[in-house]
Structure 1
Amino acid sequence: IIKTSVLSTLLTWLLLLEKFNLYSWLTLYFYWVMHLEVLLPMGVCPLARMPLLRDNFSGPLDPGAQPEVLTCTSWGAPIIWDGTFDPDVAQQEAVQRNLTVGLTVFAVGRYLEKYLERFLETAEQHFMVGQRVVYYVFTERPAAVPRVPLGPGRRLRVERVARERRWQDLSMAPALGGRLGREARFVLCIDVDQHFSGAFGPEALAESVAQLHAWHYRWPRRLLPFERDARSAAALGPGEGDFYYHAAVFGGSVAALRRLTAHCARGLRRDRARGLEARWHDESHLNKFFWLHKPAKLLSPEFCWSPEIGRRAEIRRPRLLRAPKEYALLRS
């Protein structure tokens, strides 16, 4: 009874704060809100009692392995948490398919010096270990890219991109052409301002992959920070949107990523022509795309965790850790 009462009061206040656009301010300065959100239930996987829930890489899944969190979607896509899959099966499946996995990362401006070397070094320790991997680094200063020692079957490609006025203006479209499209079957697109901290293997691969945002994965749909300005191409109306996805990690087949990036590019151009910008820039357009075209697999917040949130019982083995934000320094 006490828990229900607290939860009801919390939701009431959060709805009022969101109405006046104050929720983001509250979560930024009062971290106790992040601790109270563990009272919000994530829901129950509708397929949890079905032993035949399968993943294209990990074989049979065990959605009941983490009963306190949601382990599948209403459209049947798995949400990958630690314990719900067998990592050995995932490794064997990837080897049998003779895959080459691509990882794209943009490192422009001061992000190159501050983050890229550690990103690549930790990727060598944890990302698709035992698989063939090609890192595609996109930067305006190829000569400044650190030469990190790579293991067998792993390569680094450095591609020059024009320096845009802001990082939001960079496009993924050039990254999906040329050699990348010929070399890699699956590609993961990951932000540079983070580092790998645990095994990030083939269980993360699928035709299209979205990442549950660590700051919003427990919130009800009505509180999620979707773009609500109906004039924007990224807008989602009341009752629309499934989950809030993080643009720091997404992926899929090259063909699927081309469709996603083309959608986002069209939306950004349309908004720009109208003098608009979505609330969370390219991430807002990515969320619109995944509402219209459901991802085949979702990654739990373990695969891109923010240490600022603190410890959570369901976050057993973080795979990527976000760096603290230093916008004033890095974007000046």
Structure 2
Amino acid sequence: MLRQLSRTHILISFAFLLLFLGAVYIYSGHDISSFRVCPPCEDNPKPEVTYVSQDVVINDCPVTDSWRIRDLKMQTGLKYAQPSTQKGRTDVNSVTNWNAPLVWEGTFDPVVIDAIYKKMDPRVAVVVFAVGKYTRFLKGFLESGEKYFLVDFRVTYYIFTDHKEEVPKIELGKGRKISVVSIPSATRWQDVVLGRMKWATITIDEQIRNESDYLFMMDIDSVFHNRFGAESLSQLSAVLHRGYYKDSRSRFPYERRPESKAYIPVDEGDYYYTAAVWGGYLEEMYKLVKYCYIQSEEDAKNNIEAAWQEESHLNKYLLYNKPTKVLSPEYLWSDYDRVPEDIKVVRISQLVKNYAEVRPNGGH
């Protein structure tokens, strides 16, 4: 009986809240659509309201985890080609079966998408690890990033390294900077890979959370070749692995041992995603990075290491927590591979290198 009365009281309070918003609409001139309401529920009995400014609202609802809501607005007077409802890419699929965009060249207008996100003026973090001999790749990554990666957006490159003295001096664009994070050296490349999740989790907690709205994890042994723009931004964006985007799920290199926390049964799977580029809202990325770290630690306690380290845990997470945008292999190709006809542009590509020479344990 008391529980029923409590629910009734909550609903009545919520109704009065909506009436209050109506009054605000009448007397303040604000459009009622400019408010976001987190409705009452058992976990959050107190409804919360935040007024949306012209561009952005921070939603502090503890239940939905929807920490930032963005309206798709842009300035008036922008000139661009009219979008078609009949023409587009017909050689590739541009939408997932959960109705998220699958982004290829020719599926978006760069003028429109950049205008929308530039109006929001987000702060974007790029986390890269340059440990041991991998510092040699910093210059090429940073210089090409300044030429092609989210040009005219606010970007901070967070460089995690054990040789901070080898971080090169790069001419950066307006609103762009480098932040160096010192970390220990490693004796195995696998430990470098797994350590990424640990050190990223710690640094997001201590620093990055206060400085960024979006976060990308990227491999440093890569070079940008073409535009990598705002079409890549979403709540959680994953990139199709170039080696498996045409394969059946039975061929995906998922972790197939049930003993591992990264285990995926043979009859499950959407796509196989690379761990060399992934991004999203800061808090969504924090949840994913921390998940990979914790699951790797659990595996270690059980004396098992997932087949492809954090990439295996990443794929497990994204199978059951669908990305809101899937990026085609344009967003990470490799200089090792021929470029097929469906890849109209290579935006970033991994470099050819001697793994036995650059990896601390000789590539094994």
| TM-score range for the pair, normalised by the shorter chain length | 0.7 to 0.9
Q: How big is the shift at 1:61? A: 9.2
Q: Residue 134 of structure 1 contacts residue 156 of structure 1 at CA under 8 Å; is this kept in 2?
A: yes
Match in the other structure for 1:11: none
SS in 1 for 2:118: helix
2:284 corresponds to 1:230: no
| Whole-angstrom CA distance in 1 between matches of 2:252 and 2:208 | 34
1:78 to 91, 101, 104: 101
C-alpha RMSD over aligned residues = 2.0
Match in the other structure for 2:187: 165
How is 1:221-300 mapped onto 2 (pairs within 5 angstroms)? 221-300=249-328
* Closer/same/farther in 2, CA of residues 62 and 87 from structure 1, 3 Å limit: farther
Match in the other structure for 2:222: 194
SS in 2 for 1:106: strand
Q: Which has the higher contact order (CA 8 A, sep 6+)?
A: 1
Match in the other structure for 1:35: none
How is 1:70-109 mapped onto 2 (pairs within 5 angstroms)? 70-109=93-132
| Whole-angstrom CA distance in 1 between matches of 2:85 and 2:176 | 32
* Closer/same/farther in 2, CA of residues 229 and 257 from structure 1, 3 Å limit: same
Q: How big is the shift at 1:91? A: 1.1
| Whole-angstrom CA distance in 1 between matches of 2:248 and 2:178 | 41
The runs of at least 4 consecutive aligned structure 1 residues that moved more than 3 Å come to 55-64
Letter paired with 1:127:
F
Q: How big is the shift at 1:309? A: 2.1
| Whole-angstrom CA distance in 2 between matches of 1:286 and 1:314 | 26
Q: Residue 215 of structure 1 contacts residue 309 of structure 1 at CA under 8 Å; is this kept in 2?
A: no
Match in the other structure for 1:149: 171
SS in 2 for 1:110: helix
Q: Residue 62 of structure 1 contacts residue 84 of structure 1 at CA under 8 Å; is this kept in 2?
A: no
1:176 to 191, 204, 207: 204
* Percent identity for Structure 1 against Structure 2: 35
How is 1:112-151 mapped onto 2 (pairs within 5 angstroms)? 112-113=135-136, 115-151=137-173
Deviation track 1:185-219 (CA, whole Å, cap 9, x = no partner) reads 11111100110000001110111010100011000
1:218 to 228, 246, 252: 246
* Greater C-alpha radius of gyration: 2
Letter paired with 2:249:
R
| Whole-angstrom CA distance in 1 between matches of 2:344 and 2:212 | 30
Q: How big is the shift at 1:311? A: 2.4
Letter paired with 1:272:
A
Q: Residue 58 of structure 1 contacts residue 87 of structure 1 at CA under 8 Å; is this kept in 2?
A: no
SS in 2 for 1:158: strand
| Whole-angstrom CA distance in 2 between matches of 1:242 and 1:63 | 27
| Whole-angstrom CA distance in 2 between matches of 1:210 and 1:63 | 27
Q: Which moved more, 1:177-186 or 1:250-259?
A: 177-186
Q: Which runs of 5+ in 1 are unaligned?
A: 1-54
| Whole-angstrom CA distance in 2 between matches of 1:158 and 1:61 | 45
Q: Residue 57 of structure 1 contacts residue 89 of structure 1 at CA under 8 Å; is this kept in 2?
A: no
Q: Residue 236 of structure 2 contacts residue 281 of structure 2 at CA under 8 Å; is this kept in 1?
A: yes
Q: Which runs of 5+ in 2 are unaligned?
A: 1-69, 75-82
Letter paired with 2:264:
L
Q: Residue 127 of structure 2 contacts residue 158 of structure 2 at CA under 8 Å; is this kept in 1?
A: yes
2:82 corresponds to 1:68: no
| Whole-angstrom CA distance in 1 between matches of 2:251 and 2:176 | 42
Match in the other structure for 1:316: 344
Aligned residues: 277
| Whole-angstrom CA distance in 1 between matches of 2:308 and 2:84 | 33
Letter paired with 1:81:
W
* Closer/same/farther in 2, CA of residues 232 and 111 from structure 1, 3 Å limit: same
Q: Residue 210 of structure 1 contacts residue 251 of structure 1 at CA under 8 Å; is this kept in 2?
A: yes
Match in the other structure for 2:35: none
Q: Residue 237 of structure 2 contacts residue 326 of structure 2 at CA under 8 Å; is this kept in 1?
A: yes
* Closer/same/farther in 2, CA of residues 63 and 206 from structure 1, 3 Å limit: farther
| Whole-angstrom CA distance in 2 between matches of 1:61 and 1:95 | 24
SS in 2 for 1:65: coil
Letter paired with 1:169:
L
Q: Residue 187 of structure 1 contacts residue 252 of structure 1 at CA under 8 Å; is this kept in 2?
A: yes
Q: How big is the shift at 1:64? A: 5.9
Q: Residue 73 of structure 2 contacts residue 119 of structure 2 at CA under 8 Å; is this kept in 1?
A: no
Letter paired with 1:199:
R
| Whole-angstrom CA distance in 2 between matches of 1:163 and 1:175 | 17
Match in the other structure for 1:306: 334
| Whole-angstrom CA distance in 2 between matches of 1:278 and 1:138 | 23
| Whole-angstrom CA distance in 2 between matches of 1:116 and 1:304 | 17
